[in-house]
Structure 1
């Protein structure tokens, strides 16, 4: 699909035109429509991704983000608190995921040596190359779902807009 085809099919709308198109009494409802559309997209694509990941031994999609963060931190590892802040995950949930990943042989969790109960997470040898294999699953499934519907240029435009929604 070319950009010209999608622009002809879905030209940009003003807020008033968008509200009228969807029958919304208030153009602000467009924000709600974005939120729920993103949730539907995620629910549509994730079951197939999760199935492929489970076949690889990855029990939850967040494991990819944990592996990526630990890999980025290198041999020094990443502190659990930093990981919690990076992933926007509650401490108890992150701790459960890390415990499962330790049992699966993908991570090591060690005391950080400082005061308190701080812990550092590091990848094990079994996790080497896992990030790339997981990424390939995501890339294949996401591109297969999106490519027939939006152009590459539209994808970059959309991600730039969505990136403004979080810090």
Structure 2
């Protein structure tokens, strides 16, 4: 294995990073224009909603999130201050806590989704055919999935 990647690999990497930056910027802009919280909030709200009434531990939330969060604790603090999630004591671990979505959190997440969905459609769906999107998804899966 060479230390220097092939030119096609470097080009693929650069395009992947640019596409991600452009798509996320588009989504963030659409949410902001609609007066809604940022995309990272949506991610937290979606995962806490999926967890059900019991919520989930912070490490479980971080593992489940679509977006990387290096400062999850502060992010959750801001979302909690807005009334969208709440921290509850963890009965299995007296020092730990669970993060659960509130009714207000469910409401704002549902308000965010149509804006987010339109931004996804604009960033990907209007630029690629269904077949191209499926191929892209499959190719990106090779980068995400653990090697066998």
Question: What TM-score comes out, normalization by structure 1 length?
Answer: 0.72
SS in 1 for 2:91: coil
* SS of equivalent residue, structure 1 residue 142: helix
Where 1:127 maps in the other structure, the secondary structure is helix
- Residue 103 of structure 1 is matched in structure 2 by 81
How far off is 1:107 after superposition?
0.5
**Structure 2 counterpart of 1:65:** 43
Alignment match, 2:14:
36
- How far the C-alpha of 1:137 sits from its partner, in A, is 1.6
Question: Secondary structure of 1:78's match?
Answer: coil
Counterpart in 2 of 1:149?
Answer: 127
Alignment of 1:83 with 2:61, yes or no, is yes
**Max Rg structure:** 1
Aligned residues: 139
Cα shift at 1:141: 1.6
Cα displacement string for residues 7-54 of structure 1 (whole angstroms, at most 9, x for unaligned residues): xxxxxxxxxxxxxxxxxxx87332222222122122223333213323
CA RMSD of aligned residues (A): 2.1
1:105 to partner: Cα distance: 1.0
Does 2:113 align with 1:135? Answer: yes
Structure 2 residues not aligned, in runs of 5+? none
3-state SS of 2:44 partner:
helix
